[in-house]
Chains A and B, each alone.
Chain A
Amino acid sequence: MANVSRREFLRASGISLAMLGTGGFPSFAAEAKRKVVVIGGGWGGATAAKYIRLTDPSIEVTLLEPNKEFVSCPFSNLVLAGIESLKNLTMNYNGLRKHGVKIRHEAAIAIEPDKKRIRVGKDNLEYDRLIVSPGIDFQWDQIEGLAQAKDTVLHAWKAGPQTLQLAKQLQSLADGGVAVMTVPPVAYRCPPGPYERASMIAWYLQTKKPKSKLIVLDANKDIVSKAGLFKAVFKDYAANLDYRPSQKVEKIDVGAKEVTTDTGDKVKYDVINLIPPQRAGAIAVEADLVGGDKRWCEVDHVTYESVKQKNIHVVGDATIGLPVPKSGNIANAMGKICATAVASLINDKEPPVIAPGNTCYSWVNDKEAIAVVNAYKIDNGKVVQIEQKLTPGKSEAVAQNSLAWRASIWQDVLA
């Protein structure tokens, strides 16, 4: 044995000894283990971590996620209307641990692509391949007066404490009061999300505070997603919902309780829900994974490898260039596809060519929902849409489907 080096043994065997478990070769196993690190335990990252373990259990997977619990953004608009509890949308990460994912509830401080390692606390975490699923961060500086007021002016666009705070503010709104919500310019997380929120708040006001009004200031020139369906819904709420397109908020004055739009309109509020412009999560910007716009990450459409950094893959809302919405369902699909690609690449195999799919439900009152569904294929290495279908209108059946969807996809991400 002494004449045959460990390297030759490994080459001759053609396999990783780690596959054998730690049984007879503990020192070899430790050296041969292939490592994937996933940054971000949201819809994309948690799914990716789980599916790498499902695809090849010999790969060591570490997930970095500062939060101890996963809170679903989908369905959080229902919390604002008082018909869902945030507790029902909150899950732990124990399911991923059962798949052998190592979880560290810490944030990645910096990525060092040249050294293929990440700084976490005092440690350096090495990787063969890295999956970054950083979600979104807000561009506070795009709106005058917002950076100073960001702790009190709620976005509630990352489900969690702000969701509950905004629900409370809406409950405290006097009957006859004015709530204002703003829609950021595309691209932003969850294209139909603001309109679902507008519908749910309007339903709440219509039911509980009929003299009150919600004014929606949309930076875009029309409803961004499911436009026809939402327009029909908004008609039901005519008395309590004032939708104003092409009204980009540029300034907030929390003292005067007033926002100013790019047309010079000044709008007073009693409750404000300001959803700021967005970009990829900070770690992606700092690691230079973003493109010229300094906002979003361009990726290969088959493997989700960054076009800017080798061995680093990006999934979820932080990506750009695919004709897909920034949705939880897409992030989940990207997580699975990226996981199989990463497992293939680590094993020197050709990655499978798989396109994502998107199912997106929006509730519009306490019982009914609408939906849009998109199917895609890969054409010449690029994701192309093959079909989009909308529900004919709102219905209770669609709402029931959405509940089955959430039961299933939450398991797919976390269990």
Chain B
Amino acid sequence: MRKIILIVLKGAALVLTLAAQRVEAGPLDSPGAQKSLVCSACHGFAGNAPGNAMPILAGMNANYFKKAIKDYAEGKRPSPEMEPYSKYVMQFGLDEIADYFAAQKKPSHAAVKADAKSISRGATLATQCAACHGPKGEGDAERAFPALRGQPTGYLHAQMALFGGDKRKLDDAAADENKKRIFKGLGANDIADLAAYYATLK
């Protein structure tokens, strides 16, 4: 009798364990989450950066994430902050971390405040960017082009300043020439309008 009870209990326990695991799967219950533990200091929990200068990693396409990390590590994208951290991340391999951030939900955009006219001017200017970054700033995961929608204005602004000053280059020579041509036609106000437009896109 005692044995039967224990067998029944073990069966029930298996069900309970499965149920418990499902219920208890915490937000850190993935290898990518654990390997990216240190990132949240700057990029927020689950890649939801609350500040203006750091990019939001939540929902970032995995191909672009991996390319960005490699570019930082090789010094192609100069950044005193990201060069060490990219090498840090690379010690774990990039796949799990990239997949983890890609799977996270982006925050709501309630906090973004921008002038409606600036956004509308940005929308017009953004037609030049659509070939690579998509008509709605959704990026192109296949070609590892980043989504721009919903990124903080400060981050967008800083990256456009780097592009404009030719301090951030594109791998493809023809694309880089095209980028230079576009940025030559953009003044400081245009860049602010573009940042406002993309930051408010969902």
Contact surface of A with B, Cβ cutoff 8 Å: 1, 3-4, 8-9, 12-15, 19-20, 51, 54-58, 329, 332-333, 336-337, 340, 352, 354-357, 359, 371, 373-377, 386-392, 397-398, 400-401, 403-409, 411-412
Q: Interface range on chain B: under 10, 10 to 19, 20 to 34, or 35 or more?
A: 35 or more
Which of A3, A375, A409: most chain B CB closer than 10 A? A375
- B28–A412 CB distance below 8 A: no
**Distance from A81 Cβ to chain B, minimum over Cβ atoms (Å):** 22
Residues of B1-18 at the interface with A, using a CB-CB cut-off of 8 Å, are: 1-2, 5-6, 9-10, 12-13, 16-17
Stretch of B84-92, B115-123, B173-181, B192-200 that contacts chain A? B84-92
Choice from B16, B29, B81 contacting A373 with Cβ under 8 Å = B81
**Distance from A139 Cβ to chain B, minimum over Cβ atoms (Å):** 30
- B44–A397 CB distance below 8 A: no
Which A residues lie within 8 Å of B158 (CB)?
397, 400
Instruction: Answer whether residue B154 sits at the interface, using C-beta atoms and an 8 A cutoff.
Output: yes
With A4-B2, A354-B38, A412-B41 in contact, is A12–B13 under 8 Å at CB? yes
- B13–A371 CB distance below 8 A: no
State A135–B190 Cα separation when bound (angstroms).
48
Question: Smallest CB-CB separation from B49: which chain A residue?
Answer: A408
Residues of B112-167 at the interface with A, using a CB-CB cut-off of 8 Å, are: 152, 154, 158
Question: Smallest CB-CB separation from A374: which chain B residue?
Answer: B84
Question: Smallest CB-CB separation from A328: which chain B residue?
Answer: B41
Question: Smallest CB-CB separation from A398: which chain B residue?
Answer: B80
List, sorted by A's number, 19 A–B pairs whose CB atoms are closer than 8 Å: A13-B10, A15-B16, A54-B26, A55-B26, A57-B24, A340-B28, A352-B35, A359-B81, A371-B81, A373-B80, A377-B88, A377-B91, A392-B80, A401-B54, A404-B54, A404-B152, A405-B54, A407-B51, A411-B44
Question: Smallest CB-CB separation from A412: which chain B residue?
Answer: B40
Which B residues lie within 8 Å of A3 (CB)?
1-2, 5
- B13–A14 CB distance below 8 A: yes
State A386–B9 Cα separation when bound (angstroms).
51
Choice from A1, A386, A408 contacting B41 with Cβ under 8 Å = A408
Which of B17, B20, B52: most chain A CB closer than 10 A? B20
- A55–B20 CB distance below 8 A: no
- B88–A386 CB distance below 8 A: yes
Which A residues lie within 8 Å of B26 (CB)?
54-57
**Distance from B72 Cβ to chain A, minimum over Cβ atoms (Å):** 11
Question: Smallest CB-CB separation from B78: which chain A residue?
Answer: A392
With A4-B2, A54-B26, A408-B54 in contact, is A332–B41 under 8 Å at CB? yes
- A333–B53 CB distance below 8 A: no
**Distance from B56 Cβ to chain A, minimum over Cβ atoms (Å):** 11
Q: Sorted from nearest, which 7 A-B pairs have the closest CB atoms?
A: A404-B51, A13-B13, A375-B84, A404-B53, A375-B88, A407-B51, A387-B84
- B51–A354 CB distance below 8 A: no
**Distance from B182 Cβ to chain A, minimum over Cβ atoms (Å):** 22
Known pairs A357-B85, A387-B88, A408-B54. 11 more at Cβ < 8 A? A1-B5, A4-B6, A13-B16, A14-B13, A336-B37, A373-B83, A400-B52, A400-B53, A404-B152, A405-B42, A408-B44
- A329–B41 CB distance below 8 A: yes
State A340–B29 Cα separation when bound (angstroms).
10
Contact code string B65-88 (vs A, CB < 8 Å = 1, else 0) = 000000000000000110111011
Which A residues lie within 8 Å of B12 (CB)?
13
With A333-B41, A403-B51 in contact, is A51–B28 under 8 Å at CB? yes
Which of A3, A15, A408: most chain B CB closer than 10 A? A408
**Distance from B48 Cβ to chain A, minimum over Cβ atoms (Å):** 9
Instruction: Answer whether residue B43 sits at the interface, using C-beta atoms and an 8 A cutoff.
Output: yes
- A355–B88 CB distance below 8 A: yes
State A332–B38 Cα separation when bound (angstroms).
8
- A354–B35 CB distance below 8 A: yes
- A408–B28 CB distance below 8 A: no
Instruction: Answer whether residue B23 sits at the interface, using C-beta atoms and an 8 A cutoff.
Output: yes
Question: Smallest CB-CB separation from B161: which chain A residue?
Answer: A397
Which A residues lie within 8 Å of B80 (CB)?
371, 373, 389-392, 398
Instruction: Answer whether residue B183 sits at the interface, using C-beta atoms and an 8 A cutoff.
Output: no
**Distance from A50 Cβ to chain B, minimum over Cβ atoms (Å):** 9
**Distance from B3 Cβ to chain A, minimum over Cβ atoms (Å):** 10
Which of A357, A386, A390: most chain B CB closer than 10 A? A357
Question: Smallest CB-CB separation from B44: which chain A residue?
Answer: A408
State A346–B17 Cα separation when bound (angstroms).
17
Which of B29, B54, B88, B154: most chain A CB closer than 10 A? B88
State A397–B17 Cα separation when bound (angstroms).
51
Contact code string B17-39 (vs A, CB < 8 Å = 1, else 0) = 10010011011110000110110
Choice from A14, A340, A386 contacting B37 with Cβ under 8 Å = A340
Which A residues lie within 8 Å of B20 (CB)?
15, 19-20
